[in-house]
Structure 1
């Protein structure tokens, strides 16, 4: 056999080996479709157990397989109809549209009543916002516009933020980091027939939060208290984190997602730069091998502390979007790879499967209050499904 033939055989063998490796890698790669179908199956089970009294599923406690249901007034009421709209987007099946419309309509009273807190964005934009995006139903649009005006009534111009909890005074005007998420409804309304001032309110809230809500390392306080009259910051505290100086996992997740969204809506680079900073501290302090955080990064009994799958779901979805705005290749790849690993970890080790009909286990709601610890929660499911859909579009 001559040298040319030997070289040809070696080249063929190398090509075959590389092809086999590529096939093996593809076979072992994360299956987005499979996990989306899992969500379809789980949501179908949940639909079978919801009572016909206008309530919506919120949480499945640890050790139980039954949902606890809440009224439309609960701050989480928009997540379940939001999930249904996402499933309609996935399947384009009238069944999901009908169910999404049904459960969204339970929330209509929120658009015609006084604002009780900042959560109107979570409630109305996750439900009717997704519904309008997919159907262009004019009734949905009017509901969103009315609710955006209602949310704006909580804005304090002297402070520069929306009051989060009117019922919790804390000795001043309180604003929580979660409130960043509700700005999306204001941005949308300002661009879709609503008052243009809603855009200014959202930008002012985001700017004030950026300037006052973070420690020198860019970790977030949960709550910041301002003087009602002067607008000056009084102090930063926690409500649901371990301590006033600790990094509450879900709070930092809201910050990453929120400032990424604000950049999308404003294209102001200062918000993009800030999104990078709040993501950086989260990723640098995330020491768990599976990238699912403990409920608070400074909780005293790590590794014997509950995890928070909801924080991971929020961050995984946010990083996919943030990567799309990132020009630096190494950073873009880091966001993508870590987001994908988070989604894969949630799918492989945190799915509810035969335990209950939620999507995920091991979320933590309010540990200091002893509430919803190591359980299934609807907002974890919502952002997990959103992350899967974003990943599918990316692929």
Structure 2
């Protein structure tokens, strides 16, 4: 079975970008009241919540503006994308957590890709230097958070690595590509290899958090922070893994990473707990027997199996890229991505024009375990939805979507 675009999908993509432009401008009308704050979600009253630039989500709004501009050529979106991107310039020197990839590659990375502005490239290289300061040769990993406390409250760990960190490696690969210095790429490969060895389970699900001993480099514990239980599979974490290993294969050509990405994708697509529309519940094992959250986690207080549109959006984008590396067998992954995009673009998940505080999608989950951002729109859900739509747009135009500097 080959590539199966649905009938009139060129118009489907165009219509959804037109809708996205309307929503982005709605969000701009609110966000422009706050000079240094960045859209993130909504509160329980449906009002926009914002964060400062140091939060891991700050780069997604400018990145969404760039994707909106790319597809529509709307100069208003481009002008605002430049403004919102450049608000993050100081982050190139930020070293207090691992999320510079999210913060700067989603913003400045898209800005450089679409404008060729050499100042943007310099900022990205400096950001890669900053991110690399968190790498430990002893653990072979980039430290995610500065500390992690187990849900049981008994232990504190000081070299946690979360599966999300796979997404920040793209910044390092970029820096080596544009400078010719392999240092950054070598760090990224070492980190990805350790994740593959220590964080991915035999069935190709993944642990959310792995904590290392800083003295020996040994694994101390494998747990969760945002999932249902330590042994469960947090849906967005699985999505980060699919995306991260696919990207790492693109940058290295190492087929171990491709095999890992494909098998993690199989876990998602073939999972008996995945609904027919391929938008997952927030955790593949939530409320199932054999999976027990800590008494201190809010997960045990949440009997409803909420969907997570953000996990679906990340997965759709990843699957479209993954499908390009697998020949005829890539159809399975591309068709799954198309199903996800149509599901997310349906009234079940897509907002009504002019509402939802300008967010495109509804029904995402931040962290049920922490009792925050439950069944709300999230800025990164919109970002990866737009990225996936852009990738699908290029596939429909019969273009190669993965060409280094031309497309991520």
TM-score w.r.t. length of structure 2: 0.87
- Residue in 2 that maps onto 1:222: 208
Equivalent residue runs for 1:74-89 within 5 Å: 74-89=55-70
Mapped partners of 1:112, 1:162: distance in 2: 16
Q: Which residue of 1 aligns with 2:174?
A: 188
The answer as to whether partners of 1:121 and 1:184 remain within 8 angstroms in 2 is: yes
**1:164 paired to 2:144:** yes
Instruction: Give CA-to-partner distance per residue, 1:245-277, whole Å, 9 cap, x none.
Output: 000000000000000000001111111111111
Counterparts of 2:113 and 2:80, CA distance in 1: 16
SS in 2 for 1:192: helix
**Which position in structure 1 is the counterpart of 2:282?**
295
In the alignment, is the contact (CA less than 8 A) between 1:62 and 1:374 conserved in 2? no
Tell me, in whole angstroms, the C-alpha distance in 2 between the residues paired with 1:94 and 1:272: 38
Unmatched runs of 5 consecutive residues or more in structure 2: 1-5, 150-155, 289-301, 397-408
> CA shift at 1:384, angstroms?
0.4
More helix by share: 1
Distance, in Å, in 1 between the alignment partners of 2:351 and 2:284 is 24
| Cα distance in 1, alignment partners of residues 9 and 68 from structure 2 | 26
Q: Return 5+ residue gaps in structure 1 as ranges.
A: 1-24
Q: Where does residue 335 of structure 1 map in the other structure?
A: 333
**Correspondence 1:350 to 2:336:** no
Specify the SS of the correspondent of 1:364: strand
Give the secondary-structure state (helix, strand or coil) at the position aligned to 1:234: strand
104, 123, 144: which one pairs with 2:85? 104
1:280 Cα deviation after fit: 1.1
- Alpha-carbon offset, residue 67 of structure 1: 1.0
Instruction: Please point out which of 9, 13, 24 is paired with 1:43.
Output: 24
Quick one: distance in 1 between partners of 2:36 and 2:363?
A: 27
- Secondary structure of 2:307 counterpart: coil
Q: Distance in 2 between matches of 1:303 and 1:344?
A: 28
What are the residue-to-residue correspondences of 1:266-305 with 2, within 5 Å?
266-285=252-271, 286-300=273-287, 304-305=304-305
Pick from 38, 41, 47 the counterpart of residue 56 of structure 1: 38
Residue in structure 1 matched with residue 315 of structure 2 by the alignment:
315
Cα deviation for residue 216 of structure 1 reads 1.6
Alignment map for 1:11-26 (pairs within 5 Å):
26=7
| Residue in structure 2 matched with residue 142 of structure 1 by the alignment | 122
SS in 2 for 1:365: strand
Of 170-179 and 360-369, deviating more is 170-179
Residues 352-390 of structure 1, C-alpha deviation per residue, up to 9 Å, x if partnerless? 115411010000001011000000000000000111111
Retained in 2: the 8 A contact 1:61–1:376?
Answer: no
Tell me, in whole angstroms, the C-alpha distance in 2 between the residues paired with 1:95 and 1:29.
23
SS at match of 1:314: helix
C-alpha distance in 2 between matches for 1:289 and 1:125? 33
The count of aligned residue pairs is 367
Counterpart contact for 1:173–1:226, Cα < 8 Å? yes
**SS in structure 2 opposite 1:97?**
helix
Say if 1:319 and 1:339, in contact at 8 Å, map to a contact too.
yes
| Superposition pairs of residues 365-376 of structure 1, within 5 angstroms | 365-376=366-377
Residue 230 of structure 1: how far off its partner (Å): 1.0
Query: After alignment, is 302-311 or 210-219 more displaced?
Result: 302-311
C-alpha displacement at 1:135, in angstroms?
A: 0.5
Alpha-carbon displacement from aligned partner over 1:17-37 (angstroms, at most 9, x marks no partner): xxxxxxxx7369971111111
The change in CA–CA distance for 1:135 and 1:316 in structure 2 (over 3 A counts) is same
CA distance in 1, matches of 2:124, 2:7: 43
Say whether the 8 Å CA contact 1:160–1:204 is kept in structure 2. yes
